[in-house]
Chains A and B, each alone.
Chain A
Amino acid sequence: MPDPRVRLTVLAGFLGSGKTTWLRHQLRHGVFLNARVIVNEAAALPLDDQLLRFADARVIAGGCACCDRLPDLLAVLRDEVDRPDAARIVLETSGLSDAATIRTAILSASDLDARLVVSEVLVAVDACHGLATLRTEELARRQVAAADALILTRMDEADPDRLAVLLATLQIMAPHAPMFGAAKGVETPLPDRGDALPEDITGDPNVRPALAVTLNLAGVADWPAFALWLSALLHARGAEVLRVKGIISSPAGTMLVQAGGGSVAVPERMPDDVEHADRVVVIGRGYTAAELEASLRTFGRM
């Protein structure tokens, strides 16, 4: 007899690991057919839901679903499993969430455990920057360890030698988890690892927590000022700025700007009616919100 419980897919992965891009492609292609979508964002201002508007995603913003927003997640899940057509839910966690904690919390919620099952924890790992992230971020290592399967994203941009080392390292860190490749959401075969050896990843468990800052650009900085400010910030503080995501007005239209690993992706044009324009979220450490705001404001005034 099939399990009558609603199946929950948890899609986790560190900041900028490509979760939303991957999920958008899967949803567009019916992989999670009729699934309800929940998006969790660490920043108070949600932006990922703008990329998943077609999926009518519910948003839990302003904290991680594994800790400060866990009560909200459980409330949303209770609401979802009560729907008469409830069958499947996909939860995209924030890049700072611990999927293992979410799984444990659901198992511990006696009213949910009877109606909902975590069917899989998928963890996205950036094929380009994943190794560097694993070296420095304890949370990223915990995410990998919690994975039922690993999705290697940005396969089309990865350096083959470093990718081989990453694959060998992930095999050691999560030997139970099958790995799949993806390029802009499209499944891509993984290369042969050859004789690449895994890295001994131990990292610093005492790294400071990341800070999510939302900056309002309206009346503060135009496109040239923002672009030069962000490129300066990434040049000087690339190791500390873990993730940047913003929707910025420009003469060429409204642009989605995303950065991670010290580099900026090709900006994507957003629909004219997109919400939250002229807001940018910067997640990282080593600075204060006031320093970021003052710096951007100064660029804007120049």
Chain B
Amino acid sequence: MCGACEFRASAAGDWTLAGADNPTDRAALRDRMQQILSRVLEPAGIAVFCTNAEIRLAGGPAAAEMRLRDPSTVWAAAERLTGRTLDPLDPSILAGGAA
């Protein structure tokens, strides 16, 4: 797309991080993501640690650990750790977080 189209792409990087474009907002975004991910993944046996640089997942049957840079990849990583797909439309998956 060209300049005439007035396409204004967000900053490069994982799309989930496009909603924050300064250090303060990025820190708040990571904190909020940590909160959400913990509520979904901890009932599935996965501990979550978010920093500004990465997301660390730990747990699962093999007590393994994975380090991720992009939040959008966390679900594939959680699937590898737990051995099952965490479907957000499955009420049982969200039951712990909604409580």
Contact = CB atoms under 8 A, between A and B. Distances in A.
Contacts of A294: 91
Given A267-B18, A268-B7, A298-B97, A25 B2 contact: yes
A235 B85 contact: yes
Given A25-B1, A252-B20, A233 B9 contact: no
A21 B1 CA distance: 8
A69 interface: no
Contacts, number: 134
B35 A251 contact: no
Interface stretch (A81-89, A106-114, A224-232): A224-232
B33 A224 contact: yes
A298 B72 contact: no
B63 interface: no
Given A233-B88, A236-B89, A227 B15 contact: yes
Contacts of A174: none
**Which interface residue of B16, B28, B88 has the most chain A CB atoms within 10 A?**
B88
Main secondary structure of the interface of B (DSSP, over half): helix
Contacts of A21: 1
A1 interface: no
B88 A236 contact: yes
Given A21-B1, A25-B5, A267-B18, A237 B25 contact: no
Interface residues of B, number: 40
A223 B2 CA distance: 28
Interface residues on A, range: 35 or more
A252 B88 contact: no
A161 interface: no
Interface in B16-39: 16, 18-21, 25, 28-29, 32-33, 35-37, 39
B55 to A, nearest CB: 11
Nearest to B88: A232
Interface string A243-255: 0000010111101
B2 A295 contact: no
Given A185-B2, A222-B32, A232-B75, A237 B10 contact: no
Given A223-B20, A232-B86, A269-B9, 14 more contacts: A21-B1, A223-B29, A224-B29, A224-B32, A225-B36, A232-B75, A232-B88, A236-B85, A236-B86, A251-B21, A252-B25, A266-B12, A294-B91, A301-B98
Which 9 pairs, one residue from A and one from B, show the smallest C-beta to C-beta distance?
Answer: A250-B19, A184-B1, A223-B19, A227-B16, A235-B75, A252-B21, A236-B87, A224-B32, A231-B72
Interface of B: 1-2, 4-5, 7-10, 12, 15-16, 18-21, 25, 28-29, 32-33, 35-37, 39-40, 71-72, 74-76, 79, 85-89, 91, 94, 97-98
